[in-house]
Amino acid sequence: MSIDLDHIQQVFEEADCLYTREEVDGAIRRMASEITEVLADKNPLVFAVMNGGLVFCGKLLTHLHFPLESSYVHATRYRNTTSGGDLEWKVPPAHELKDRTILITDDILDEGHTLAAIVDYCREAGAKEVMTAVMVDKLHDRKAKPGQKSDFTGLECEDRYIFGYGMDYQGYWRNAPGIYALKGH
């Protein structure tokens, strides 16, 4: 499949910057302080949800100055009307979860189906406590669970197609220096 890199570049050039690098980094530092208050003495296991959570989690970890273990999970959830959508593990948790405090980090809480399924999986595996941290909470009423929120949230945004800091546009711009919304979306 051929990618039109001119189109990919044009998308970035025309996008609306919702949050600058400085604003995003400030939100990450604030979240790290909040997370430290809650988890510093709990020996947490911190998971990045791949691929989107990679950038956010990596930046967040550098601000958490207490003992923790870090790893990643890669799961997808496909919609299937007969089963309600199952979680498919591409890379399941490689650590023992029983009696652990878990922090799951992801780039965005959009509808939240995958994040909710990962939380449920960790609880069913015997985790003592499961918390979530997301870089962005997209504001709309289509959440997987009514009123669904993350335990730690960096920023909020309107219901637009966004990219940057882990979120992508057609596989590109996870590395964008801020959080951007597609023009007209």
Residue-wise pLDDT tens digits, 6-37: 999 999 999 999 999 999 999 999 999 999 99
Nearest to 127 by CA among 47, 55, 33: 47
pTM over 0.75: yes
**Assign residue 50 a region: left if phi > 0, alpha if psi is -120 to 50, beta otherwise?**
beta
Over residues 81-95, the mean pLDDT reads 70
Over residues 128-154, the mean pLDDT reads 94
Q: Which fold has domain 22-181?
A: Rossmann fold (3.40.50)
Q: Taking each helix axis from N to C terminus, what angle separates 21-39 and 53-61, rounded to the nearest 10 degrees?
A: 60
- What is the rounded CA–CA span in Å between residue 63 and residue 133? 14
Nearest to 28 by CA among 70, 2, 3, 64: 64
Over residues 55-77, the mean pLDDT reads 94
Mean pLDDT score across all residues of the chain: 92
Query: 129-138 and 86-91 as β-strands: parallel, antiparallel, unpaired?
Result: unpaired
Question: Which 3 state secondary structure label does DSSP give 166?
Answer: coil
